[in-house]
Amino acid sequence: MSNLIKLSTELQTIPTKDINTTEKEVLHYILNKPKSFGSFNNEDKQKLGVYLIAISKFLGIKQPLEDIQRKLLVNTLCSEVKNFTFEELDKAVKMASMGKFSEIDNQHYQYLSPIYLSNIINAYISYRNTIYKKYRNFKENNKPEKKLSREEIIRISTNFIKDEIKEFSENKEEYFDSEYKVIMYKHSYNTLYKVGIIKGKELNNLDDIKSILIKFYTYILKNNINVIDYMKSFYNKNKSI
């Protein structure tokens, strides 16, 4: 997570003409991803249920949300959109209520149904993907021209891998399920491949890359290896880097 937090601070450097306030908020949830539905405990689920009752009133639904409906909605959200978050749901519902998602039927027909929420969530995800692509393009077009020294490259790359392994150790089940971390997976793989830790034919398939990273991260954690020292030993063997 520390890598994503570092990225989040960079939001302040993006000119307002390139990204507006709403887009910054959406991007903030991407780079500092809150607790996802798939990680919710019973207390979190109860709070989500209370929120659904409140949002039903906010939307002007006259028929009260029955207890069984609320429980089913909560369980459905936590099982079917595991990587979505409470904060994103709240933002999505509010955006939909203001007519921001013109591609969907914005009418709830006096019922907070799974289909209604699903349409909003899917519209938000599509919007979110567009914002993230916009952010990545901005980053790509505004790369610093400073040439890093070998020592700086080693320090940055070793700490990057250390942070990724730490995040993996804290959430092994969901670490490789995030669509936003694809760039992180590829960067991790390329770093380890270039230094010579990962050998063989260079991989391009994302599933293959994930599989290799899982094996390497697990190896480091299982054997309690200091990954920074481990990587430095490979850098010392390969002076061309």
Return all residues near 5 (Cβ < 8 A) that are at least 6 apart.
31, 32
Letter for the amino acid at 116?
Y
Q: How far apart are CA 212 and CA 207, in angstroms?
A: 9
Radius of gyration (C-alpha) of the chain in whole angstroms: 21
- pLDDT confidence band for 105 (50 / 70 / 90): confident
Q: CA-to-CA distance for 98 and 149, rounded, in angstroms?
A: 50
Question: Average of pLDDT values for 147-173?
Answer: 89
State the pLDDT confidence band at 14, using cuts at 50, 70 and 90.
Answer: low
pLDDT in tens, 172-196: 878 888 777 788 899 999 999 999 9
54-71 pLDDT per residue, tens: 999 999 998 888 999 999
Amino acid at site 163: D
Q: What percent of the chain has pLDDT over 70?
A: 91
Cβ–Cβ under 8 Å, residues 157 and 149? no
- Every domain of the chain and the residues it spans: 2-140, 150-237
CA atoms 73, 76, 82, 83: torsion sign: negative
Which pLDDT tens digit goes with each residue over 76-102? Answer: 999 999 989 999 999 999 999 998 998
Alpha carbon of residue 187 to chain centroid: 15
Mean pLDDT for the chain overall: 86
